[in-house]
Structure 1
Amino acid sequence: MNVLMIDSLPLFVAGVADALLKLDKNWKVWPAENPEDVYRVHRELLGEGIDAVTLEWDDEAARVGWPKVLPEVFGAVPWLFVVRTGGRHAIADALLAGAAGVVERHATADEFAQALKQVASGAIYVPSRYCDDGEPSSRTGGGERRLDRLTPRQLEVLRLLAEGKSNKQICRALNVAEGTIKNHLYALFRQIGVSNRTEAALWLARRVPAESARPAPQQRVAWVGAD
């Protein structure tokens, strides 16, 4: 499995690569620190490709514009934020920026491997310790039952919201009035037990199978509030 790790600490990348190799000799980790490195790796792997990408997420990464660079270079190849500490906000930020989830910087080798395999297979990865954070219903199946009670239109709105679409963008995608979208949002927020767009996006990431929850390749990068 070919993995591109974009990180400012080569020693960290080397440590992860060594740990993954000990789990499975078929792992291959390619390091990168800047867009030039990414383009170089892409050229070197032409015909073979990358299966997943990890991205050290901080203010510098946001300034570089990685959520735009990665799809331009690798298309629909999934990528993970590598964060110092996970949690609701980190997971929501990752999802709304177009990532397939987060993996924590202090994760074990098994957790890194699981995260990479999961997103490479088309799933969204969230560290297990956060899956039940503040949501007892997730242990009883209540979340899935609430999803089943959403109307097809509410589910469409929820998925577009999880891609980071603004209300105006959702209106254009579904060809409906903005007032109608607001009504759908109000109804589905009540239905799934959340109070804002970020919580709704995170809720969807935890419960919907990846093939229906993740945006299509050409739609994966979207910024909240953009028109």
Structure 2
Amino acid sequence: MIRLVIADDDPLVRQALAVLLGAEPDMTVAGVAADGLEVVYQARLHRPAVILMDVRMPGHDGVAATRLITGWPEPRPRVLVLTTFDQDEVVDRAIRAGADGFLLKRAAPAEIVAAVRTVAGGEGLLAPTVTRRLMGILAARPDDPGDHGLTGREAEVLRALAEGRSNAEIAEAVNVSVETVKTHLKAILTKLGVRDRTQAVVWAYRSGFIRR
């Protein structure tokens, strides 16, 4: 059973998400929150597998809450950010805070359900529309990619990851097993000095490793 906490300052959004996800046979909504401080409290109380995190909330916002939660020792809750992309700078801050997935609030119900399962399974998630937006944000501020010593196969895996593919899809694309993909991903994170899949994708676009 995937335990969830839903954080959004709009009560109608909270209710809609709770009804949608609570109806799934493998999900249960353990708590809801209207601001960042409350979601941190709910996360400590319920230890959910996934937190659906609004970015713009009063007081202690979703970015600050995400930074706190992703800094907890493992196993920690995974954070799936739901955003409307009102401000590019807010999106960039959420990435740096270590969120595990990004989805637009206007996503179809089936997409939201699938995203929760993906993030709960330990994989990162960037919706295609989010990826395109990130490309625009990050391409304007390229860093020097430097020599991080990625092997040819690791470079292939990173490119597939930047396309938003799951581990299984990457394995099929580069013709290796899922376990081998996981091994390559661990090596990539270590060589790039990043902590998760999302930050690896951010590095790939910001550094110019992936070109638009």
Question: Shorter chain as normaliser: what TM range?
Answer: 0.5 to 0.7
Q: Deviations over 1:79-105 (max 9, x none)?
A: 12111149x988765443311121111
Q: Deviations over 1:29-78 (max 9, x none)?
A: 52112344234424542xxx301112111386658622322135675321
Q: Is the aligned partner of 1:123 residue 2:123?
A: yes
Q: Deviations over 1:160-179 (max 9, x none)?
A: xxxxxxx8xxxxxxxxxxxx
Provide closer, same or farther for how the CA distance between residues 132 and 35 of structure 1 changes in structure 2, counting only shifts above 3 A: closer
Residue 173 of structure 2: aligned partner: none
Cα RMSD, aligned residues only = 4.8
* 1:10 Cα deviation after fit: 1.8
Higher relative contact order (CA 8 A, sep 6+): 1
Look up the SS of the partner of 2:119 in the other structure.
helix
Q: Deviations over 1:125-178 (max 9, x none)?
A: 122456689x9xxxxxxxxxxxxxxxxxxxxxxxxxxxxxxx8xxxxxxxxxxx
Residue 151 of structure 1: aligned partner: none
* 1:118 Cα deviation after fit: 0.3
d(CA) in 1 for partners of 2:110 and 2:99?
A: 20
Gaps of 5+ in 2: 136-142, 168-180, 204-212
* 1:204 Cα deviation after fit: 3.5
In the alignment, residue 184 of structure 1 is paired with which amino acid? D
Gaps of 5+ in 1: 136-166, 168-180, 193-199
**Kept after mapping to 2: 8 A contact 1:6/1:31:** yes
For residues 45-194 of structure 1, the aligned pairs below 5 Å read: 45=46, 49-58=47-56, 65-72=64-71, 75=74, 76-85=76-85, 94-128=94-128, 183-184=146-147
Residue 163 of structure 1: aligned partner: none
Look up the SS of the partner of 2:48 in the other structure.
coil
d(CA) in 1 for partners of 2:32 and 2:63?
A: 17
**Kept after mapping to 1: 8 A contact 2:103/2:130:** no
Provide closer, same or farther for how the CA distance between residues 202 and 52 of structure 1 changes in structure 2, counting only shifts above 3 A: farther
d(CA) in 2 for partners of 1:62 and 1:201?
A: 32
Q: TM-score, normalised by structure 2?
A: 0.55
**Kept after mapping to 1: 8 A contact 2:67/2:98:** no
Q: Is the aligned partner of 1:206 residue 2:205?
A: no
Provide closer, same or farther for how the CA distance between residues 71 and 50 of structure 1 changes in structure 2, counting only shifts above 3 A: same
d(CA) in 1 for partners of 2:114 and 2:131?
A: 15
Higher fraction of strand: 2
Q: TM-score, normalised by structure 1?
A: 0.52
Residue 22 of structure 1: aligned partner: 23
Provide closer, same or farther for how the CA distance between residues 35 and 74 of structure 1 changes in structure 2, counting only shifts above 3 A: farther
d(CA) in 2 for partners of 1:94 and 1:36?
A: 16
In the alignment, residue 49 of structure 2 is paired with which amino acid? D
Provide closer, same or farther for how the CA distance between residues 100 and 44 of structure 1 changes in structure 2, counting only shifts above 3 A: closer
In the alignment, residue 19 of structure 2 is paired with which amino acid? D
Provide closer, same or farther for how the CA distance between residues 73 and 37 of structure 1 changes in structure 2, counting only shifts above 3 A: farther
d(CA) in 2 for partners of 1:184 and 1:101?
A: 27
In the alignment, residue 162 of structure 2 is paired with which amino acid? L
Higher fraction of helix: 1
In the alignment, residue 20 of structure 1 is paired with which amino acid? L
